[in-house]
Amino acid sequence: MSDNSYGAVMARKNDIMKKSLLLDYDQFEGGGLAFDYEGMMNQFGYTLEQVRAIQLATHVGNTPLVELRNLTRTARALSPRGKGARILMKDEAANPSGSFKDRRASLSCHFASSKGFKGVAAATSGNYGAALVSQANMYNLKTIIAQEVFDSQDRGQPEIVEKTRKCEAYGAEVVQTSVGPELFYYFLRVLEETGYFNASLYTPLSIAGIETIGWEIAEQCRSMHGALPAAVVVTHAGGGNVTGTARGLRKAGAEDVPIIGASVNLEGLHMASDRDFNRKSFTTGHTGFGVPFATWPDRSDVPRNAARPLRYLDRYVTVNQGEVFYITEALAQLEGFERGPAGNTALTAAFALAQEFDEDDIIVVQETEYTGAGKHHYAQLAFAKEMGVRVESGDPDREKPGTTIVLPDHPGKIRAREVNLDTMRSSFIRNALKQGAVGKESLSPADKRYLAAEIRRNEAFVDKVLKDLA
């Protein structure tokens, strides 16, 4: 009988991963810091055309690209003469479970079915759980979702509880945990005891599933508007959204289209803190994921994360919680689309960024998601008040995460605040040295090339950071 103590299960995690993924990550390791990223990404051998065919068979993809004329008109009214790009929105809520996560789940479920797995499992408190069970049902696979839900007072955030209901409505078994390290422990036990496929958000299969969004954006912009977008704005959390979309754009010959990541600013709140967990009004698309996952992607539930956002980000901006709630309501009342919070994070940033671009330019908001009772911004604001967070109107720059939510009293006060990517690149190098337990003096040429590729800078930049660290 296996020892199921926390330490024993964590000690077995590499073996559990190999069996549940049919992927040996060790073959891609280079001996130091370096690993063969593209080799890992190509391990499963699916072409973009094959992924598109798999997704079409389960009704995923080919979602509408919608022009938001009224929001564009509002942005232009706030812009200098000749500025105010057209804002287009990729409506991923048209997928079967209501989000782009169907794309991530589709390939994992197809692969699991083809290899004879009886079920799939994932650790997620987000839309991915609903997407996974929706796709799994089409392959007659069972689904178990491990979900971090409660603080120590047994309070669950409305958005997370809503996603629990949706997973259960599709027929998934949901294992709910409190805030802390037990989520990954229970997930490993589920994989080991059931023999289910690990349909992690961070495998090459998951990222390959997102690539079709980037490809569709490029093709739809060419066919509908005769030009590629001046920028694509992507809600950034764990990095998969950024990575997959950018890779898809490149495969469509649109490698020069800038990728702008956008996150809700939750500076000062700790995602693993029992106190802070329910004092945020966003469960994804925020800096609590966006910053740490960019500066050290391999904190994920697989040995090597296929989401590597610093390889692809051209800019990274933040918006505030109150601003996203404002744009969520504006999207419903001006454009007739009631959509959930994550995609509206990118839309909020795009509304501000459009004012920098020329009128003839196109900015694409890369995704939307469904909304529902618990995901609705009214439910989130009511819960914030219950947790002692003040909700007020005024200047969004006065917002303090966990203490206040400030709804802008004028759309001209909505801003996209720049995050210094070079600072994050330096943090990535520092974390790579720390996690790899490799000294600066012992880095090989291959290690330096790897670091340069990971952060989209040359080796001279890497050398400068190493010198600064000394």
Return the HEC string of 281-302: CCCCCEHHHHHHHHHCHHHCCC
CA distance 323 to 209: 30
In the three-class reduction of DSSP (H, G, I as helix; E, B as strand; rest coil), residue 119 is classed as strand
Q: Could you tell me how far CA 431 lies from the centroid of its own chain?
A: 21
Contact 259, 421 (CB under 8 A): no
Reported as a pLDDT band with limits 50, 70 and 90, residue 440 is: low
388: buried, middle or exposed (CB in 10 Å: 19+, 13-18, 0-12)? exposed
pLDDT at 401 over 80: yes
Greater model confidence, 283 or 439: 283
Instruction: Give 370-400 pLDDT, tens digit per residue.
Output: 998 888 999 999 999 999 999 999 999 999 9
Q: How far apart are CA 187 and CA 175, in angstroms?
A: 9
Which pLDDT value is given to residue 441?
A: 66
Q: Rounded to an integer, what distance in angstroms lies between the CA atom of residue 304 and that of residue 322?
A: 35
Q: Where is average pLDDT lowest: 48-52, 80-84, 443-447?
A: 443-447
Q: Is the pLDDT of residue 14 over 80?
A: yes
H and E: helices and strands count for the chain: 18, 13
Answer whether 155's CB lies under 8 Å from 278's CB.
Answer: yes
Give pLDDT tens digits for 213-234. 999 999 999 999 999 999 999 9
Residue type, 467: K
Amino acid identity, position 113: S
pLDDT at residue number 151: 86
Question: Which architecture characterizes domain 55-98+207-418 according to CATH?
Answer: 3-Layer(aba) Sandwich (3.40)
Q: What residue ranges of the chain are covered by domains with CATH 3.40.50.1100?
A: 6-49+99-204, 55-98+207-418
DSSP 3-state assignment of 178? strand
Given CATH 1.20.120.140, say whether it is the number of domain 6-49+99-204: no
112-135 confidence digits (pLDDT tens): 999 999 999 999 887 999 999 999
Residues 249-256 have a mean pLDDT of 98
Averaged pLDDT for residues 359-374: 95
Predicted confidence (pLDDT) per residue in 134-166, tens digit: 999 999 999 999 998 888 888 888 998 999 999
Residue type, 112: A
Residues 6+ positions from 199 with CB-CB distance below 8 Å: 105, 108, 109, 112, 120, 121, 122, 132, 205, 206
Q: Measured between alpha carbons, how far is 30 from 33 in angstroms, rounded to an integer?
A: 7
